Amino acid sequence: MIRYFAARLAGLVLVMLIVSFITFGMLYRLPGGPFDQLDQPLSPAALENIRHKYHLDEPFYVVWANYVANVAHGDFGTSYKAENVPIVDIFRDQWGASLALGGMALAWSVPLGIVLGVMAALRRNRAFDYVARFFSIVGATVPNFALAVILIYVFAVVMKVLPTGGWSSDEPRTFVLPAVIFGLLPFGSVMRYTRNGMLEALSQDYIRVAKAKGLAQNAVVYKHALRNVLIPIITVLAPMIPNAFTGSAILEPMFRINGIGKLFIESLASRDYPMVMATVLIVAMLWGISFLIADVAYTLADPRIRLGK
């Protein structure tokens, strides 16, 4: 097991190196630069001095190598737009909102998706099944910005029961719309995978044997059938967890939430290379850790699975 974890961690480091190199190359090939569109245009000499200060006058692979060396020591640098402010401090200030948003979205969407998926499978081709499938399809296919516009209009403009945006612990109502909309995609996916997996599990011979032995319906469904559905649920959740905990680049600006997603869009627009790189690396790292945790969860859900085999 130690060799397996060591190999996976080594693979994660390699992936992060490749991702950082590709991202660096793409950023440097974009037209313009981080200091070309200031409110007060600089003279060519002053602009050259700034570029030299941040090593932007060097080839991108040299800057990339220096950046990777600094990151290896835990130094993500400072933002071009917030001079002398470490990127780690900026993330510490703004990541909390994204973590809260993603946590709230997963807290309601995953359990509800599993429960409704099981109930829909037990009521196949009935009214409940059709309604549950409709909402799962809407959540999984309709873009969240379109749903945001509709729900903001209905609940904030017409009914006036929820605010149009903001994110404050002093006003819990600001959490409702972003958390509900952000959780619709996980809800739709989890509900659909749970329903399909339950339908397949309930048709297996061992379920028929369990029923023939007189086991209670709840024992058959939740102890035997549902356990075999956990593998696809874990698989679909693995990429959703890092996506949820790094915020939404669409919903956060729409609801005026100062999170990682909004910060990434602003940094990309202003060519804030260190901030963009830090965000991409953190997301890549979370993806790798999430899939590693999913592999461990496979072994807990199904003892027949062994790591590295």
Residue type, 64: W
Q: Average pLDDT over the chain, rounded to whole? A: 85
How many other CB atoms are found less than 10 A from the CB of residue 59?
Answer: 10
Q: How far is CA 238 from CA 74, 108, 204, 298, 300, in A?
A: 26, 17, 26, 11, 15
Of 127, 238, 129, 246, which Cα lies nearest the Cα of 186? 238
Instruction: Give residue-wise pLDDT tens across range 37-67.
Output: 555 566 677 667 767 776 777 777 888 888 8
Which stretches does DSSP call E strand in the chain? none
Instruction: Give residue-wise pLDDT tens across range 95-107.
Output: 899 999 999 999 9
Residue type, 186: P
How many other CB atoms are found less than 10 A from the CB of residue 8?
Answer: 17
Is residue 168 pLDDT above 80, yes or no? yes
Token pair 């950082």 in the structure block, residue: 20
- Dihedral sign for Cα 97, 106, 14, 28, please: negative
Q: Give the per-residue pLDDT at 226.
A: 84
Residue type, 99: L
For the chain, domains (ranges, CATH) are 1-309 (1.10.3720.10)
Contact 178, 144 (CB under 8 A): no
pTM attached to this predicted model: 0.84
Instruction: Give residue-wise pLDDT tens across range 195-238.
Output: 999 998 888 888 888 888 877 878 888 877 888 888 889 988 88
Residue type, 126: R
Crossing angle of helices 273-301 and 87-122, rounded to 10°:
40
Q: Is 277 helix (H, G, I), strand (E, B) or coil?
A: helix
Q: Give the per-residue pLDDT at 194.
A: 93
Q: Give the per-residue pLDDT at 225.
A: 83
Token pair 């956990």 in the structure block, residue: 230
Q: Give the per-residue pLDDT at 222.
A: 80
Residue 271, both tokens: 């060519």
